[in-house]
């Protein structure tokens, strides 16, 4: 898990190379096939998978709650608009995994565009570290879901690693789009 997070956060080794960079490059064909084949099985086992992930994210971060206008004493599960947003997240993952079949170019483009749009939410309290919280919640929920029906430890571990690589790539490219737009906007602001 820590390797996954250090890769996303852009940590470098003593030689200046990104830690876990192999997980950020193009997604391996075998990894794609595993994730594409498993998503429908996971959703059959846990239809509310993305809702659980989304709610866990809010439960772990008061900043996420505040960014979505949820008061600190409010339960995110009781906020219909917040819960409904999980279907948007699920649709995005469905598009990348099922519709685009994790095509590298389409994944990069879609994720960078979505990441860039997140700059619009900075004024509402968004911070890119929210993605780290989301990734941890996603990893935990996927692990729990796979563990509920996959009893072969070796196959389950292979699937967990495949999902971590895919989620890692998705968030990495979102972060790239976000960072690039921030640089452009700061550059434009400083140039005027």
Answer whether residue 102 shows pLDDT above 50. Answer: yes
- pLDDT (0 to 100) of residue 21: 40
Least confident interval from 4-8, 96-100, 112-116, 134-138: 4-8
pTM of the model: 0.84
Which residues contact residue 3 at a Cβ distance below 8 angstroms, ignoring those fewer than 6 apart? 19, 20, 23
Sign of CA dihedral 25, 30, 32, 35: negative
Which residues contact residue 139 at a Cβ distance below 8 angstroms, ignoring those fewer than 6 apart? 1, 4, 160, 163, 164, 167
Contact 148, 17 (CB under 8 A): no
Helix ranges, the chain (H): 2-8, 29-45, 49-60, 62-67, 80-94, 104-117, 130-149, 153-191
Instruction: Please give the Cα distance from 99 to 127 (Å, whole number).
Output: 29
In this predicted model, what pLDDT tens digit does every residue of 29-62 receive, in sequence order? 999 999 999 999 999 999 999 999 999 999 998 8
- pLDDT (0 to 100) of residue 18: 43
Instruction: Please give the Cα distance from 52 to 76 (Å, whole number).
Output: 11
Q: What is the average pLDDT value for the chain, to the nearest integer?
A: 88
- Rounded mean pLDDT, 62-78: 89
Q: pLDDT tier at 72 (50, 70, 90 boundaries)?
A: confident
Instruction: Please give the Cα distance from 115 to 120 (Å, whole number).
Output: 10
């Amino acid at each position: 898990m820590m390797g996954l997070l250090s890769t996303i956060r852009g940590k470098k080794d003593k030689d200046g190379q990104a830690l876990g960079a192999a997980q950020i490059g193009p997604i391996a064909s075998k990894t794609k096939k595993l994730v594409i084949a498993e998503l429908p099985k996971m959703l059959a086992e846990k239809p509310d998978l993305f809702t659980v992930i989304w709610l866990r994210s809010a439960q772990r971060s008061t900043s996420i709650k505040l960014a979505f206008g949820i008061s600190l004493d409010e339960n995110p599960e009781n906020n219909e608009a917040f819960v409904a947003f999980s279907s948007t997240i699920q649709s995005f993952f469905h598009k990348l995994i099922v519709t685009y079949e994790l095509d590298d170019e389409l994944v990069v483009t879609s994720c960078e565009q979505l990441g860039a749009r997140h700059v619009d939410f900075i004024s509402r309290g968004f911070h890119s570290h929210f993605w780290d919280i989301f990734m941890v919640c996603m990893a935990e929920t996927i692990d729990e879901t796979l563990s509920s029906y996959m009893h072969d430890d070796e196959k389950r571990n292979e699937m967990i690693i495949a999902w971590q690589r895919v989620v890692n790539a998705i968030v990495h490219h979102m972060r790239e789009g976000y960072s690039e737009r921030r640089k452009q906007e700061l550059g434009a602001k400083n140039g005027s």
